[in-house]
């Protein structure tokens, strides 16, 4: 039942999250019970981190096996890849739980709060099950549960028509994605005869090429839908913003990573890489998602939608790394493949840290000023210093500036592109170095977007009374954010501590790969860079003496009003003007009354900036199915004679089938 040293804590983790906490919360509404539940969740997450760290060093083997109880084999195994993602889930869960405790108290009534906490712990459980499952059945059960529980968490917040529509799209796309993922597992059945990961891994070699391609494409689509790759990202900017902030932090920071885990598990662990065009498909998807994701983000002025689009961009960067690694595998360069995979996995971990911090920051803003619309915020840094600083660190990390963790993984991705030029394969030699330009453009635009996001939200003068009277969030929320910010800085300045285990993990996945030299050089130089920059900065700070207040210069006018500041829409106007073709905003200008254009009573201007994928890509497909259904509905005419005719026709056609078959 529980094997190995980490079996016990892992079982404790599952039991607490899965059974103890939900039952406790449903049973009683007392405040003490709820605090106990939160404490249990924190303890379980901490145990999860321990299991992940110890799991890293031990030989992989089933940790917890429930197969005797369940109809199909249902067991868990913490090998190196699972350990990394388990660490990711649990390490992000601790600060998010600390943040969520006061947040839920402030936002929800008594009864809803218990349901939210119950679903919260089930949500964590489902993600842990997904990343540590070692049989197909357990993985799929966790996968569907994750979608259901997250949809439940969103719906608890409210039931407006627009929210329902978004959750409906979310559930529909996730279910279709899950069907593709299920197909991936089942395609191995004729060869592995069981859905146990070990059997699938063994069968990976004897699977014919046709099936391998089918599995890869299904995995790409199935996990791409959950990760939010561009054509399949429709649900992401709709579902994340409407979830409560701690939940959208978990969804954006952690749930997307389970999709990356699934894709890596299939393309590297089970299939062990494939022909080169696999890599190019993933590379293209990554580039498109990265570019379009950041461009749409720049157009947004709702902070949470902006962050959701940035998840699409960062997933794009992760897929760039994965694509490069697949290309190197196809060109038989295991060392370079290892470098690219390390870059992708590190960026996955980094993204989990800073994206959840960003969403927690957005949550802090929304609980302090009851709005996340950038047009109404401003001047929050002086009112909410800790949130501001944490948000600033997260912005620097996501943009990939040195001294922060985002830079390490982007730098490794750059170096893997550069290393691509050393390949003998002509196509890769050209495409990969050019990808440097794409990633640089993504990085530049991300910098522009987050200057806007942080600058408009936190700096300058408050643009609304709520922002004016904003007050710092309580201690647990601040400590949660501080924890994540510290982690971002720590990995940014001392990456070595993290890169060595990652290198050993990747050696397991890619046979014949040593430790890439770049990981060592970056680990050596980053501390020096930090010393120089901070030292010079400290030296420069010596010159600063007395500070005198003086009103901002307003070209001699009596005083600046808050409306004179740059808002987020105006800030992004130049970039949106340059990339107008991508946005294709549909503007509607309406003059009332219509017959007298020159004496308008009122003129209203409305422009929707992001291109509507729903109208272009999904609506025709859905309309086709519904029209087919309507045509079928006409078959049920209501007349009994027609029904009898159907039976006789069926009989006659079967008899004819029998007659000719003979």
Partner 1 sequence: MGLVGIATEKILSSFSVFLFLSILLLAVARRISTSVLLFSLQSAVITAEVLATAYQEKLAGVYVVGLLVFAIKVVAIPRAFFLLTKRLKTVRDVKASTTPTQSVFITVAMIYLSYAAVHSYGQAVHVPDDALAAAVSLILTGAFLMVSRKKALMQVLGLLVLENGIFLAALLTTFGMPLVIEIGIFFDILMGLLLMGIFTFRISDTFEHLDVSKLRKLRG
Partner 2 sequence: MLLLLPIAIPVLGAGLILCFRNPRVATRAALLLGALEIGALGAVVWQVHVRSELQQGRYLRADGLSSFFLMGIAFISGLVLVYASGYLRHMGEGRFSSPRWFYALVFLFLFTMISVCLSANLGFLWIMMEGTTLASALLVGFYNTEGAVEAGWKYLVVCTVGIAFALFGTIVLYLAAVKAGMSPAAALDWVSLMDAAPRIGLDPHLVKLAFVFVIVGYGTKVGFVPMHSWLPDAHAEAPTPISALLSAVLLNCAMYAVMRYDAIVSRAVGPAFPHTLLLIFGVVSMVVAGLLILVQRNLKRLMAYSSIEHMGIIAIGLGLGGPLGLFGALLHAFNHSVAKSLLFFSAGNVRHHVGTLRMDGIQGISRTMPQTSAALLVGGLAIVGLPPFSLFISEFAILSEAFTQARYFVVILFLVILSVVFGGFAFHFFRMLCGEPDRHVENSRLIPSEYIAMGIAGLSLLFFGARIPYLFGLLLHEAMAVLQ
Partner 3 sequence: MNITADILQVLALILGAPLVRGIIARMKAVLQRRRGASIWRPYAELFKLLRKEDLVPPTSSAVFRLAPIVLFGATACTAAFVPLVHASALLGSYGDFFLLVYLLALGRFFLSLGALDGGSAFGGMGASREALVSSLAEAPFLLGLVALAISASRADIAGIVAWTLGQNIFNISVVHILAFTSLAMVALAETGRMPVDNPATHLELTMIHEGMVLEYSGPSLALIEWASAIKLHVMLALLIALFCPWGMVSTWSGLGITLAVLLYCAKAAVLMILLSVIESAVAKLRMYLVPDFLGVASAVSALAVIFTMWVRR
Beta carbon nearer to partner 2, 70 or 596: 70
Query: Residue 654 interacts with partner 3 (CB under 8 A)?
Result: no
User: In this structure, is the dihedral angle defined by the CA atoms of residues 446, 451, 452 and 458, taken in order, positive or negative?
Assistant: positive
Query: Residue 187 interacts with partner 2 (CB under 8 A)?
Result: yes
Query: Residue 461 interacts with partner 3 (CB under 8 A)?
Result: yes
Query: Residue 469 interacts with partner 3 (CB under 8 A)?
Result: no
**185 within 8 A of 139, measured Cβ to Cβ:** yes
Token code pair at residue 25: 């919360």
Beta carbon nearer to partner 3, 99 or 414: 414
For partner 3, the binding residue among 61, 190, 514, 535 (CB under 8 A) is 535
CB of 251 to partner 2, least distance (A): 19
Token code pair at residue 640: 């009994």
**Of residues 122-141, those binding partner 2 (CB under 8 A):** 137, 140-141
Beta carbon nearer to partner 2, 186 or 277: 186
Query: Residue 148 interacts with partner 2 (CB under 8 A)?
Result: yes
Whose tokens are 């627009």? That residue is 162
Beta carbon nearer to partner 2, 533 or 655: 655
How far is the C-alpha of 257 from the C-alpha of 88, rounded, in Å? 9
Q: Site mask, partner 2, residues 465-504, x = CB under 8 A?
A: ----------------------------------------
CB of 455 to partner 3, least distance (A): 3
Beta carbon nearer to partner 2, 72 or 566: 72
Query: Residue 587 interacts with partner 3 (CB under 8 A)?
Result: no
CB of 204 to partner 2, least distance (A): 16
**SS3 label, residue 269:** helix
How far is the C-alpha of 374 from the C-alpha of 395, rounded, in Å? 15
Give residue 587's Cα distance to chain centre: 31
Q: ∠ CA 427-430-435 to the nearest 5 degrees?
A: 115
Whose tokens are 């961009």? That residue is 313
CB of 603 to partner 2, least distance (A): 34
The residues that touch partner 1, with contacts defined as CB under 8 A, are: 633, 636-641, 644-645, 648, 655, 659
Query: Residue 558 interacts with partner 3 (CB under 8 A)?
Result: no
Q: Site mask, partner 3, residues 420-459, x = CB under 8 A?
A: -xx---x--xx--xx-xxx-xx-xxx-xx-xxx-xxx-xx
**Of residues 47-76, those binding partner 2 (CB under 8 A):** 69-72
**SS3 label, residue 583:** helix
First and final C-alpha spacing in the chain: 57
Size of the site for partner 3 (CB under 8 A): 82
**41 within 8 A of 21, measured Cβ to Cβ:** yes
Task: State which H helix or E strand residue 325 sits in.
Answer: helix 303-330
CB of 165 to partner 1, least distance (A): 25
For partner 3, the binding residue among 210, 537, 597, 638 (CB under 8 A) is 537
Token code pair at residue 647: 């039976």
**Of residues 620-639, those binding partner 2 (CB under 8 A):** 625-626, 628-630, 632-633, 636
Nearest to 316 by CA among 443, 193, 176: 443
Nearest to 24 by CA among 106, 124, 115, 154: 115
Query: Residue 566 interacts with partner 2 (CB under 8 A)?
Result: no
For partner 2, the binding residue among 172, 288, 423, 530 (CB under 8 A) is 172
Q: Which does 168 bind (CB under 5 to 8 A by kind): partner 2, partner 3, partner 1, none?
A: partner 2
* CB contact burial 468-483 (16+ within 10 A = b; e otherwise): eebebbbebbbebbbb
Q: ∠ CA 113-115-119 to the nearest 5 degrees?
A: 115
Q: Within 13 A of 558's CA, how many CA atoms are on the CB side?
A: 1
Query: Residue 26 interacts with partner 3 (CB under 8 A)?
Result: no
Residues 6+ apart with CB under 8 A from 660: none
**187 within 8 A of 252, measured Cβ to Cβ:** no
Beta carbon nearer to partner 3, 541 or 594: 541
Task: State which H helix or E strand residue 177 sits in.
Answer: helix 161-187
Cβ count near 561 (within 10 Å) = 10
Q: Within 13 A of 638's CA, how many CA atoms are on the CB side?
A: 1
Query: Residue 193 interacts with partner 2 (CB under 8 A)?
Result: yes
Beta carbon nearer to partner 1, 616 or 650: 650
Question: Which residues of the chain form contacts with partner 2 (CB under 8 A)?
Answer: 69-72, 137, 140-141, 144-145, 148, 155, 159, 161, 164, 167-168, 171-172, 175-176, 179-180, 182-183, 186-187, 189-190, 193, 195, 625-626, 628-630, 632-633, 636, 640, 642-644, 646-647, 649-651, 654-655, 658, 662
């Amino acid at each position: 039942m529980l094997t190995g040293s980490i079996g016990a804590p892992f079982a404790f983790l599952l039991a607490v999250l899965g059974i103890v906490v939900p039952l406790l919360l449903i049973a009683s509404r007392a405040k003490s019970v709820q605090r106990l539940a939160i404490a249990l969740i924190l303890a379980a997450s901490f145990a999860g981190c321990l299991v992940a760290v110890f799991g890293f060093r031990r030989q992989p083997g089933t940790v917890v096996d429930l197969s005797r109880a369940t109809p199909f084999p249902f067991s868990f195994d913490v090998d190196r890849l699972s350990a990394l993602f388990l660490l990711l889930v649990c390490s992000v869960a601790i600060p998010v739980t600390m943040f969520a405790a006061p947040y839920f108290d402030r936002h929800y009534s008594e009864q809803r709060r218990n349901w939210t906490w119950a679903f919260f712990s089930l949500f964590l459980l489902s993600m842990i099950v997904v990343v540590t499952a070692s049989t197909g059945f357990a993985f799929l059960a966790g996968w569907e549960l994750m979608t259901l529980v997250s949809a439940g968490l969103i719906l608890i917040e409210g039931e407006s028509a627009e929210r329902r529509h978004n959750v409906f799209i979310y559930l529909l796309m996730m279910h279709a994605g899950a069907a593709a993922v299920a197909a991936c597992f089942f395609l191995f059945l004729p060869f592995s005869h069981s859905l146990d990961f070990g059997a699938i891994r063994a069968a990976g070699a004897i699977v014919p090429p046709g099936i391998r391609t089918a599995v890869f494409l299904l995995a790409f689509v199935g996990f791409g839908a959950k990760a939010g790759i561009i054509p399949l990202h429709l649900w992401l900017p709709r579902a994340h913003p409407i979830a409560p902030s701690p939940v959208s932090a978990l969804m954006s920071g952690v749930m997307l990573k389970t999709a990356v885990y699934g894709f890596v598990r299939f393309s590297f662990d089970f299939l062990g890489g494939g022909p080169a065009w696999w890599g190019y498909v993933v590379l293209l998807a990554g580039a498109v998602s990265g570019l379009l994701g950041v461009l749409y983000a720049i157009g947004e002025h709702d902070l949470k939608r902006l962050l959701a689009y940035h998840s699409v961009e960062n997933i794009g960067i992760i897929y760039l790394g994965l694509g490069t690694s697949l290309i190197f595998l196809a060109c038989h360069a295991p060392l370079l493949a290892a470098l690219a995979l390390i870059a992708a996995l590190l960026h996955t971990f980094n993204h989990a840290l800073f994206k959840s911090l960003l969403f927690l920051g957005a949550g802090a803003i929304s609980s302090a000023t009851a709005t996340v619309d950038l047009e109404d915020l401003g001047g929050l840094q002086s009112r909410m210093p800790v949130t501001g600083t944490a948000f600033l660190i997260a912005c620097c990390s996501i943009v990939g500036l040195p001294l922060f963790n985002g830079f390490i993984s982007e730098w490794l991705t750059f170096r893997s592109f550069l290393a691509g030029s050393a390949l003998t394969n002509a196509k890769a030699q050209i495409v990969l170095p050019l990808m440097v330009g794409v990633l640089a453009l993504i990085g530049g635009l991300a910098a522009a977007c987050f200057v806007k996001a942080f600058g408009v939200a936190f700096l300058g003068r408050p643009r609304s009374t709520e922002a004016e009277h904003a007050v710092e969030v309580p201690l647990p929320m601040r400590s949660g954010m501080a924890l994540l910010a510290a982690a971002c800085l720590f990995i940014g300045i001392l990456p070595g501590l993290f890169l060595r285990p990652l290198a050993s993990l990747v050696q397991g996945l890619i046979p014949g790969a040593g430790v890439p030299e770049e990981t060592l050089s970056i680990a050596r130089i980053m501390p020096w860079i930090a010393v120089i920059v901070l030292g010079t900065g400290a030296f420069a700070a010596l010159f600063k003496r007395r500070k005198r207040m003086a009103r901002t210069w307003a070209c001699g006018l009596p005083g600046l009003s808050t409306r004179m500041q740059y808002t987020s829409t105006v800030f992004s106007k130049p970039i949106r003007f340059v990339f107008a073709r991508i946005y294709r905003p549909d503007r509607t200008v309406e003059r009332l009354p219509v017959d007298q254009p020159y004496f308008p009573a009122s003129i209203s201007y409305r422009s929707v900036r992001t291109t509507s994928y729903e109208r272009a890509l999904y609506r025709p497909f859905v309309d086709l199915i519904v029209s087919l259904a309507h045509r079928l509905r006409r078959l049920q005419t209501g007349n009994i004679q027609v029904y009898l005719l159907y039976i006789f026709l069926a009989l006659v056609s079967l008899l004819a089938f029998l007659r000719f078959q003979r």
